[in-house]
Amino acid sequence: MPQRQHSPYSKSVYKEPAPVHDPENPFESMMERFNLAAELLNLDEGIYNFLKMPAKQVIVSIPIQMDSGEIKVFEGYRVIHDDTLGPSKGGVRYAPDVTLDEVKALAAWMTWKCSILGLPFGGAKGAVKCDPSKLTPTELEKITRRYTASLISIFGPERDIPAPDMNTNEQIMAWIMDTYSMHVEHTETAVVTGKPVILGGSLGRIEATGRGVMISALSAMKKMNISPESAKVVVQGFGNVGSVSAKLLAEQGCKIVGISDISGGYYNPNGIDLEKVREHLKVHHVLSGFPEADSVTNAELLELPCDVLVPAAKEDQITAKNADKLNCKLIVEGANGPTTADADPILNERCIMVVPDILANAGGVTVSYFEWVQDRQGYFWPLDRVNMRLERFMRNAFDTVYETASRYNQPLRIGAYIQAIDKVARTVRLRGIYA
Ligand SMILES: NC(=O)C1=CN([C@@H]2O[C@H](COP(=O)(O)OP(=O)(O)OC[C@H]3O[C@@H](n4cnc5c(N)ncnc54)[C@H](OP(=O)(O)O)[C@@H]3O)[C@@H](O)[C@H]2O)C=CC1
Ligand SMILES: O=C(O)CCC(=O)C(=O)O
């Protein structure tokens, strides 16, 4: 594999991160990269301490009456990492195994993401520890409304604005909007984004994260002289982000050779017909049994030969254990935190370019920003305007991160952290930190 010196994916001056306590703890993974960038920026110790601590961590108890009549209590979280650049922004995920450390990491990633994209937002994230596949629609609605009611003093269009993430969707955003509006006694659409279009949502928000993944993949492929028509792509995860990324990359001429969901991976070196996948999902709801591809495990999927790998499922998929087995040239992180910090130096050593999560998947929050702007203006844009502006934001962000990474002779991930932290730190200094 050729060495690419003096570029964002050169191994030349990349510093080994200090050993971490738990490499698969997303907050520690975030902090490893933050520490590296802070050191390169020569960040003032006071500002370093200010930015590493989340501004607010709220844990709420969510008692609801199940359809059976039984009362069950769920745990909910909202972490506001930072609100220096503006109201905090970030999705809400529903998952049975979610932890506070995971939410803390996801909230910090939102701060860095909004900073890189030039959005007037800080970073936050929320979660409810529950398994939506085991809940009825009524139970899901009750959980969502109670979670929102418990966070009434946190949320607000000028304070903290939730959005969808794993296992949450437009309907859940509609319930959040309605519950908030009931409490403040007027309809407040701008309190949440990712809503149905009929309730003040933005055209293009559902596809926005996958569209941003596609745009950043094409930008990176151009730097690497990989043409879309010659590119073989593997996508892990076939939810909102994965399925849209696959569809839009296929529309650009790429051949999608591998896909997966929780049921496993599916591989066809001649290309997977995504229309047939869509028809299969309509009937079966999971990829399991898809006849036109060979079945592989999720672990094998990540190691399939391809040009571009798009992890778009969850955290900690590419680790020190499998980074040396990957068979791709480029990774575009659709998911948040799919790569652990201890895998970074291995990928860098192997000259695999990584477009990091805080850049690659920022299309979602960018169109959420457009939605918030439209709601506040009460004036809605056509789809082509949303997509054109998204493309401009994503391309600019890619170019500036690439330039920063090149200037510091670091991989794109560290370039992205440097750029993000520098902007927030400079804003903190200008605003001052006195009570
Ligand atoms: N939605 C958004 O706008 C944004 C999402 N992201 C991030 O993208 C990632 C995916 O989110 P999103 O698409 O919204 O979530 P979804 O819930 O829509 O989809 C998640 C997908 O991942 C699959 N999956 C879950 N676990 C595994 C596993 N162990 N191996 C393989 N596949 C798995 C799920 O399978 P199954 O359906 O069978 O359970 C599903 O296909 C998350 O990291 C999220 O934080 C980032 C930015 C914005
Ligand atoms: O759209 C948003 O506001 C946030 C999306 C999100 O949660 C993310 O980018 O991880």
ipTM of the prediction greater than 0.95, yes or no: yes
CA–centroid distance, 93 to ligand 1, in Å, is 10
Residues 162 and 285 in one domain: no
- For the CA of 365, the nearest atom of ligand 1: 48
Domain that holds residue 108: 54-193
Point out the annotated binding site: 89, 113, 209, 240, 368
Tokens read off for 234: 């593997």
Q: Which of 104, 165, 315 for mutating ligand 2's site (highest number of atoms within 8 Å of CB)?
A: 165
Point out the annotated binding site for substrate: 89, 113, 368
CB-based burial label for 56 (10 Å; 0-12, 13-18, 19+): middle
Residues 151 and 213 in one domain: no
Average pLDDT rounded to a whole number, residues 162-183: 97
Residues 172 and 241 in one domain: no
Residues 390-414 have pLDDT tens digits of 999 999 999 999 999 999 999 999 9
Last residue of a domain, one of 360, 393, 427: 360
CA–centroid distance, 289 to ligand 2, in Å, is 32
- For the CA of 287, the nearest atom of ligand 1: 38
Q: Which of 85, 103, 110, 211 for mutating ligand 2's site (highest number of atoms within 8 Å of CB)?
A: 110
Residues 143 and 227 in one domain: no
CA distance 243 to 291: 18
**Residue among 11, 52, 104, 125 flagged as catalytic:** 125
Residues 113-134 have pLDDT tens digits of 999 999 999 999 999 999 999 9
Residues in the chain: 435
Q: In the predicted model, what is the mean pLDDT of the chain?
A: 94
| Nearest CA-CA partner of 334 in 305, 304, 308 | 308
CA distance 334 to 279: 24
Q: Which ligand is nearest to the CA of 281?
A: 1
Res. 365 pLDDT band, cuts 50 70 90: very high
- For the CA of 301, the nearest atom of ligand 1: 31
Residues 301-343 have pLDDT tens digits of 999 999 999 999 999 999 999 999 999 999 999 999 999 999 9
Residues 91-100 have pLDDT tens digits of 999 999 999 9
Q: Is residue 384 part of a domain?
A: no
Domain count across the chain: 2
Residues 249 and 330 in one domain: yes
DSSP state of 318: B
CB-based burial label for 153 (10 Å; 0-12, 13-18, 19+): exposed
Q: Is residue 236 part of a domain?
A: yes
Res. 19 pLDDT band, cuts 50 70 90: low
Pairing label, strands 88-95, 160-164:
parallel
Ligand 2 contact via 90 beta carbon (within 6 Å): yes
CA distance 304 to 232: 10
Of 6-10, 125-129, 293-297, 399-403, the range with the lowest mean pLDDT is 6-10
The protein residue whose alpha carbon is closest to atom 2 in ligand 2 is 365
**The dihedral formed by the CA atoms of 147, 153, 157 and 159, expressed in degrees to the nearest 10:** -120
Residues 335 and 211 in one domain: yes
DSSP state of 232: E
Please report, for residues 164, 268, 302, 388, the alpha-carbon distance to residue 282 in angstroms, rounded to integers and kept in the order given: 22, 21, 26, 31
384 pLDDT above the threshold of 80? yes
Are 83 and 156 in contact, with CB atoms under 8 Å apart?
no
Residues 135 and 240 in one domain: no
Bridge partners, 236 (sequence order): 311
3 pLDDT above the threshold of 90? no
What's residue 18's pLDDT?
54
Ligand 1 contact via 241 beta carbon (within 6 Å): yes
DSSP state of 65: E
CA distance 152 to 171: 19
Residues 225 and 168 in one domain: no
Within 13 Å and on the Cβ side, how many CA atoms surround 362? 33
Res. 16 pLDDT band, cuts 50 70 90: low
Tokens read off for 418: 């440097």
Average pLDDT rounded to a whole number, residues 150-163: 98
Q: Is 129 labeled as catalytic in the residue annotation? A: no
Last residue of a domain, one of 132, 167, 193: 193
